[in-house]
Amino acid sequence: MINEWHFIPDGGWNGLHNSDSSESVRRAHEGRGSINGIDSAAFTAAVESRFHDTPLDSSFYYGCGFSGNWGYRTQYRALNKVYFAMKAVGEMVTGYPRRVRTANPLPELTLLGGVAADGRSAALLVTDYRGESPALDIDVRGLDGWRLESVRVLDDARDLVEDKSLAASFEGGRLRLAKAEPGSAVFLVRFVPGESR
């Protein structure tokens, strides 16, 4: 059991206490590398995904509430990036309960795959934590005769939405996902039986 865990910005605890300067508080709460930003979201999705390959029975994400500075809302009460990362992980766990074996091809990439209980769809949660590659190439086996149905992305500009401007393809067992820019991103990819469109 892990009784408390959370992403901490690169500046450490600076800006996370009430006694800190207003500038350090702003840096800790706003931007890509803040507790509300895409780096925090990708870190959270990667940790939650990797927990599935451990003997861990339970873990407690510190501040998983809708109030305060550590939860799922920004200081302005908007849903933050971590909320959408947890939503993606939740959709994987509940919608695709039959786990499939995955291997993380690079240190910055984390994969979590599953098949729906009825076997009529499959999904892959792809988390890129601070990766600098403009596109991700992933080997996907066991889905011959299946096609890519949808790709939803969580990045600095998008909140777990499908964006057709970001190229995605699935051919010959190779999944290719384009990123809008280098850095952290989370993709929720759904596959269904049938020929590619």
Residue-wise pLDDT tens digits, 101-149: 999 888 999 999 999 999 999 999 999 999 999 999 999 999 999 999 9
State the Cα–Cα distance between residues 144 and 173, nearest whole angstrom. 7
- Tell me 11's DSSP state: T
28 compared with 159, residue with greater pLDDT: 159
Q: Tokens 């076997």 label which residue? A: 119
The CATH number that domain 96-193 falls under is 2.60.40.1180
Domain ranges for the chain: 2-84, 96-193
State the Cα–Cα distance between residues 80 and 95, nearest whole angstrom. 23
Total-model pTM: 0.94
- Helix H or strand E segment including 193: strand 185-193
The pLDDT-based confidence of 196 (bands split at 50, 70, 90) is: low
pLDDT at residue 93, rounded to an integer: 95
CA angle at residue 44 from 188 to 85, to 5 degrees? Answer: 35
